[in-house]
Structure 1
Amino acid sequence: MTKISIKALALQQLHAAAEAGGGRAAHTVYGGHEKSLRQTVIGMIKGSSLGEHGNHDDATVYVLQGRIQLRIGDDVWKARAGSLLIVPHERHSFEALEDSAVLMSVAKRPYPPGQILAD
């Protein structure tokens, strides 16, 4: 078993984000390309963003610290520390409304949403 302090990792990523050119930094806590589950702590400085991108996997974003917003087209959802966002399978973006840290969890699907596997 491995024990990790997500709170400490969030602070570490916020400090790294403050020094990074893009205003964000990330560390994969668990998983990666070889696993079906990937969990990543992302630190974001106010005003930084994760640009619009697609998503066919199941994903959630748990706000550890600060406030963020999720944008899908003209729709915007704001979330603060303690909020869990279930990310839809649509093109979307995130922006930090203040210095923030999130835990992003992604469970890779073996096929795109809506596609039914043949038996």
Structure 2
Amino acid sequence: MENLETLIRDQLDDARASAHGRSAHLFLHDGPLRQTVIALLAGTSLDEHNAPPAASLHVLRGRVRLTWAGGGQVLIAGQVTAIPHTRHGLAALDDSVVLLTAVTAVREPAPGVPAGAAARG
């Protein structure tokens, strides 16, 4: 079990000590599920990169800009959004910490089973 407040503090400290002004810690890895706390100091960014099959971004501290071809949005602490299914980037407008939740693989339904049927029970 992890304490998010401790992770936030530790990643901000690590970002401040880093020459690149950022830090990340993968704290949950369960099959295709990944949760990572990422700290970015104001003015730093994550360059454009590919999206996993499914992901969300929850801003824990600060203010960030999520960008993608033809769009973007500013998110503030407390907001959660789905990551676009396209190449995207992230820039810190203030010292910020985000929680990235990603699913790295999607299991195909069994033949003859409608998509989502297993999740409904």
TM-score by length of 1: 0.85
Instruction: Give the secondary structure class of the aligned counterpart of 2:78.
Output: coil
Could you tell me how far 1:110 is from its partner in structure 2?
3.5
Instruction: Give the secondary structure class of the aligned counterpart of 2:43.
Output: coil
Cα distance in 1 between the residues matched to 2:77 and 2:4: 13
1:44 corresponding residue in structure 2: 40
For structure 1, the 5+ residue unaligned runs are none
1:62 corresponding residue in structure 2: 58
Q: How big is the alpha-carbon RMSD for the aligned residues of Structure 1 and Structure 2?
A: 1.7
After TM superposition, which residue ranges in structure 1, 4 or more long, deviate above 3 angstroms? 116-119
Cα distance in 2 between the residues matched to 1:11 and 1:47: 19
Q: How many residues align?
A: 111
- Of 20, 23, 39, the match for 2:21: 23
Could you tell me how far 1:117 is from its partner in structure 2?
7.7
2:4 corresponding residue in structure 1: 6
Instruction: Give the secondary structure class of the aligned counterpart of 1:82.
Output: coil
Could you tell me how far 1:102 is from its partner in structure 2?
0.5
Cα distance in 2 between the residues matched to 1:15 and 1:56: 28
Contact 1:7 1:64 in 2 (8 A): no
Contact 2:52 2:103 in 1 (8 A): no
Radius of gyration: which is bigger? 2
Q: Does 1:77 align with 2:70?
A: no
Report sequence identity in percent: 34
Contact 1:10 1:101 in 2 (8 A): yes
Instruction: Give the secondary structure class of the aligned counterpart of 1:26.
Output: strand
For structure 2, the 5+ residue unaligned runs are 112-121
- Of 77, 83, 86, the match for 2:82: 86
2:96 corresponding residue in structure 1: 100
Could you tell me how far 1:84 is from its partner in structure 2?
0.3
Cα distance in 2 between the residues matched to 1:56 and 1:28: 15
Cα distance in 2 between the residues matched to 1:56 and 1:10: 23
Cα distance in 1 between the residues matched to 2:26 and 2:52: 19
TM-score by length of 2: 0.84
